[in-house]
Amino acid sequence: MSLKDEWDRLDSETRTWLLENPACLVLPPAMSAKISKDAQEDIACDPQGQVVLSREDHDFLREKAEAAGTIRVPAGEYRFFDTATLPVVGKAPPEARHNATG
């Protein structure tokens, strides 16, 4: 299955969810069931019955999400959109380490 080929058969709720979650690698069970139900082709699923998206599917979703304005990412840069930015952690000054241990 290719999301590009199935896109027009998907309902608007499913399309919206996909555009808001373009970095999803495996679709949740409920979303997988909705897509499988309406698909014209056989859909590859993992052992739990969840649809696994291909690189082409991710590229397609990214293009659609950028066009819809749900994401803005420079071309060629892949990011996980559902993760928070990690904080920068530095070493504590020597006096703070001393006070914490003694």
Tens-place pLDDT, residues 5-27: 889 888 899 898 888 888 888 88
User: Could you give the 3-state DSSP secondary structure of residue 26?
Assistant: strand
CB count in 10 Å sphere of residue 35: 21
pLDDT tens digits, 88-98: 555 556 665 55
Backbone φ, ψ for residue 45 (5° rounding): -125, 160
- Residue spans of the domains in the chain: they are 3-68
Task: Please state whether the predicted TM-score (pTM) of the whole model is above 0.85.
Answer: no
